[in-house]
Amino acid sequence: MIHEAIRALYNNACSIDGNTIDDVQVWDEDRNEVTINNDNVTAKVAELVEANPMKMLRIERDRLLKQEVDPVISNPLRWASFSSDKQGEWTAYRTALLDLPDNQTPDDDSLSNITFPTKPS
């Protein structure tokens, strides 16, 4: 995550070598070494680590929308074959997925405390 932090802080960083704050070297596109502030990078790494569970929640939510909801809702023939009750279930499921980041806060990257909505049968 140190590379991501450096790229977020130093938009002129083109090449990064090393995996710890003590041995990392950064160069710009002209191969000039970029001087980094270790305290700023360390703080940015902490910020990214803290934000990662929510990022993982959004990634999983987006995957479910793309793989489970979109093929149903965006297929007019399939959608038209559903009763209004079944359409309502799928609409509610989609809405619940979209609302996940606003309604739940993950404790960790594995999303172990998140209750995902149940997909309609």
Indicate whether 62 and 121 sit together in one domain: yes
Pair of tokens at residue 27: 């160069």
Residue 45 in any domain: the answer is: no
**Residue 57: which residues within 8 A CB-CB, separation 6 or more?**
100, 101, 104, 106, 111, 114
Write phi, then psi, for 25 (nearest 5 degrees): -125, 140
H helix and E strand count, the chain: 5, 2
* Count of domains forming the chain: 2
- Predicted confidence (pLDDT) per residue in 23-34, tens digit: 999 999 999 999
Residue 44 in any domain: the answer is: no
Indicate whether 59 and 113 sit together in one domain: yes
What percentage of the chain exceeds 70 in pLDDT? 100
Indicate whether 88 and 120 sit together in one domain: yes
- Predicted confidence (pLDDT) per residue in 72-121, tens digit: 999 999 999 999 999 999 999 999 999 999 999 999 999 999 999 999 98
Indicate whether 111 and 67 sit together in one domain: yes
| Range(s) of the domain holding residue 100 | 52-121
What percentage of the chain exceeds 90 in pLDDT? 95
What's the pLDDT score for residue 13? Answer: 93
- Predicted confidence (pLDDT) per residue in 1-48, tens digit: 999 999 999 999 999 999 899 899 999 999 999 999 999 999 999 999
Q: What pTM was computed for the model? A: 0.75
